[in-house]
Amino acid sequence: MRVKVGRGMAMVAAGVSAAGLVVGCAAGDGAGRGAVVEALNRVVAGGAVPGAQVVVGAGGSVWSAQAGVGDIERGTPFPEGARVRIGSNTKTFVATVMLQLAGEGAVELDAGVERYLPGVVWGPGIDGDRITVRNLLQHTSGLPEYAAEFGATPGPGQIAVQSAELRWMTVDMAEVVRQALTAPAEFEPGAGWAYSNTNYAIAGMVIEKITGNSLGAEITRRIIEPLGLRDTYYPDPGETGIRGPHPVGYLETDGVRVDYTEQNVSVAGAAGAMVSTGADLNRFFTALLNGELLAPAQLAEMKQTVPVPGAGESLDYGLGLMRSSLSCGKDSWGHGGDIDGFEVRGGVTDDGRAVTVTINQVPTTAEPTTRVLEVVDAALCATD
């Protein structure tokens, strides 16, 4: 499927370009909630984005704060328990399911994808026998980014620039992958690192082939239900709205903000389609790092990282999981995601602190994302 694309619209991203920033905050000096709230207010100062919400979990307690507005027209803040599109945080759910399958002996991480999807992963310089499941999960496959299928020239992590037509379209991801793989490989498998949503589109296809079930059904059965994530879900095919309380998600194009809350996220799929809340994401990442979802061997595989080019020692990528450095010397584990309408950042530290920060517009400049990461840093480095 080739789609002629007009100006504007949706994208999904991992936050790779920004997640590795080490930001200096007063929290590293022992500050607490006040520093977090102050940092949150800076995110919306000047109107760069409409609103922001932080959800912090520490020592068995959970608290949240809002800044700006969740709905410009009504002037209301983010609702409590706001459900938002989490973009590429979806990848960690997908990687967790794959690693569970590996623990069950249903898939081998170092087996070629050809074993599971015969004849699918082939193209110019692309050999499905040599590209492994591990390569997919770690973005070391060299596979081209499928955003190009929709006319995008993406930065790190972006999936697509959507036309108004594509916003409502249910895409055939197998066909999207087939078209994407007509472009040449970026490098030999394992010889480099480059974020490509194509990796997770294919990983989702592998999971569905092995289990005989939809990806959404496997994520629900294996993660959402056992953890009691009542406000988290993988959208049904063709579903366009967000269930439950949620802010308006905005898209800014040519200086004008429009309501972009409703959209068909089939184009994001395994790379970024899910909906969740800050509290549920904190619970998921905490449970994952605590070993509640994976056996020790599989969690260790997930945490085996490779450097992200250009990030120095501040950011590494494992199997659907990022390690980033904080200003107070701690490491944070998580992911991050953008999809038109929402940007989500967060992380979990070894001492049990967890945070999710959401803004209801993907920024058009780097500064708001930098401010969001300051909130993450302040919350994870705080002492109360």
Residue 340: name the closest of 161, 192, 191, 196 by CA: 161
Contact residues for 91 (Cβ-Cβ < 8 A; gap 6+): 14, 200, 270, 271, 272, 320, 335, 337
Strands 51-58 and 61-68: antiparallel
Largest CA distance in the chain: 56
Q: By the 8 A CB rule, do 319 and 301 touch?
A: yes
Gyration radius of the chain over CA positions: 19
Is 332 annotated as catalytic? no
The SS3 assignment for 262 reads coil
Catalytic annotation, pick one of 17, 88, 196, 324: 88
The SS3 assignment for 22 reads coil
Both structure tokens of 248: 């308006």
Both structure tokens of 142: 């060299």
Distances (CA, A) of 341 to 53, 98, 124, 307, 349: 14, 28, 35, 29, 27
The SS3 assignment for 219 reads helix
Q: By the 8 A CB rule, do 122 and 184 touch?
A: no
CA distance linking residue 144 with residue 270, whole number of Å: 16
Element (H, E) at 33: helix 33-44
| Enzyme catalytic residues | 88
